[in-house]
Chains A and B, each alone.
Chain A
């Protein structure tokens, strides 16, 4: 489904981003998995690449550093000559109740979740805009952006910004054949979730009509649809991937 496509996935070394990188490569894409910790992609990519039609490659930089973003994107462009897909998945999450919101954590969340997303979108869209077939950008939002959640005032605000910038970018970049969509995952079974209190977690799962957490692959498949040619007339949308959650 993605054969011949070159994609960049930020936060691609673990969790949802790792699943996105893997699903894309399984479907034929050359994937540049972005991470900050050097070596974190190679911990699994060397073995993984043996059995797939595509390939996961690593690239290490901080998406909140505009210069680093520019250099990395140029590196991808020079190596592959085109960039067809970008998944802005990298994100930082601190859950703090009102009255206990740390300025440092707030700035970190906006720096990565919002400014980093804009950096990547702005830089990659300049490459895509010069390509005959444009490209597709997927921003990972969150159901908290749409519904809100206790203890997630700042995180939900950053993801709300992601939803808004997705819609505006879609309108501005449509003429260049660049599609911009967002995926809003519900509660997802990542390493972070394994540390949650079992009773509280079960209460939250009880609100999911499908009766289970999302697996990272569930999110990755939705991203694949958005990056693939199956969605060539879809832009400016926010797709909830939450197992029909009642919040």
Chain B
């Protein structure tokens, strides 16, 4: 029992020794540190008073006021929107703070500072100034800047192109009167059937305008019938014209028009208009069983 008690007392003694030793260290530390701390406090106070003199605290106060104003002017929604364009803002900030940009801004500042000494420039001076290489470069930059400005503005200002919704039946069904704009006069439909329509008559096939589809199927009997349909009675001169027209078509591959028939067949233009009135080229080609002449003289 005594042995156990003694061991405990020893342990307590050792702890007391440790505590006393720590206390002594602390006292030493404080004793030693006090002058140092005093010095530090003095230095600190001096520093603060310097800052005070320099106006740092005033700036900080103002900054606090600025933050107040910011929070007044911008709500949380604005900040949310801002976060969306933060990348663009940062990009802009980075671009603007590049050394060359800063140098440019500096240059511009210098120029504006000296602006009082710059002489006014008239059109002729402007022209001669335009020969200066620096001015030319500057103009290039300015133009590029303008182009970008215009593009940015244009993309904002350009109205959206509105297209009318396509009508599903528009291509299939014929145009109804409602589709025709009020200001546009409605054209009267052509009385002849469309040219691509195929019409059968007397066992022969014709296009919608009445021209024989297969010129080799032509014969004089058919020609006489067709001429009768057009109100013509074929005479020797008519035959002269028809034979020449066919011959010319077979030789050249294209239907002759009035001028060529008139000179080739020898009947003359005036007589052509008498033989095949109003539309001599077209009528002659039709009765001759060859395609509609394409030329305009």
On whether the two chains bind one another, the answer is no
Binding site for A on B (CB under 8 A): none
